A and B are shown apart, each in its own frame.
Chain A
Amino acid sequence: NAGVTQTPKFRVLKTGQSMTLLCAQDMNHEYMYWYRQDPGMGLRLIHYSVGEGTTAKGEVPDGYNVSRLKKQNFLLGLESAAPSQTSVYFCASSSLIKEETQYFGPGTRLLVL
């Protein structure tokens, strides 16, 4: 049981480049989330999904897009990366039955130059 996995683990981008972060969970969870973690600011919710085919904005959605085409995957896209998007990105998932408990992936470190 892998839990929540994230791909890639680390990435360097140039300003204006695009990329997609992949989150996958094998726990059949309904809810999935994308956060960013910046020094001194804790985690902030970017987007989330309450089920396949649905997404919603979190606290800091600007500059990001997401898709949940399959229940087990939640993709985070950066169409035109900016240095302000340098951060550590965490994906999490939770079940409908015990939705208060989120399981986190290991994180993706993104550096935008």
Chain B
Amino acid sequence: AQKITQTQPGMFVQEKEAVTLDCTYDTSDPSYGLFWYKQPSSGEMIFLIYQGSYDQQNATEGRYSLNFQKARKSANLVISASQLGDSAMYFCAMREFSTGNQFYFGTGTSLTVIP
């Protein structure tokens, strides 16, 4: 079974609008972390936001917020007020703490911001 599922291969959003990128995960480990990374066309991986499985509140980092629904095993990324520079691939990832440092990445969502 896939550990991380990103069902949206491509998304479009109008500049200044908000967009939600979906991510669902599969784990039986009670202790885990969820991450989002951005990969621009230049290729580097940029860390955006982190949510721990025991965190009570949804994580926020500037224009990024993580909509964490534990019972549904979803960790959607919300980008508010989209900018042209947000056009990139976005990867959801998970780390299961009981297995040490195993990280699992989704297949990514390509976001295009339209002027």
- Contact in complex: B107, A107 (CB < 8 Å): no
- Contact in complex: B50, A107 (CB < 8 Å): no
A74 interfacial by beta-carbon distance below 8 Å: no
Within 8 Å CB of B18, what residues of A? none
**Chain A residues touching B, range:** 20 to 34
Give complex CA distance A56, B102 in Å: 10
- Contact in complex: B101, A33 (CB < 8 Å): yes
- Contact in complex: B43, A88 (CB < 8 Å): yes
Q: How many chain-B residues does the 8 Å CB contact rule pick out?
A: 23
Within 8 Å CB of A59, what residues of B? 102, 104
B12 interfacial by beta-carbon distance below 8 Å: no
Which B residues, 18 to 33, have Cβ-Cβ distances below 8 Å to chain A? Answer: 33
- Contact in complex: B45, A42 (CB < 8 Å): no
Give complex CA distance A103, B33 in Å: 16
* CB closest residue in chain B, given A107: B43
- Select A100's contact among B52, B91, B105, beta carbons within 8 Å: B52
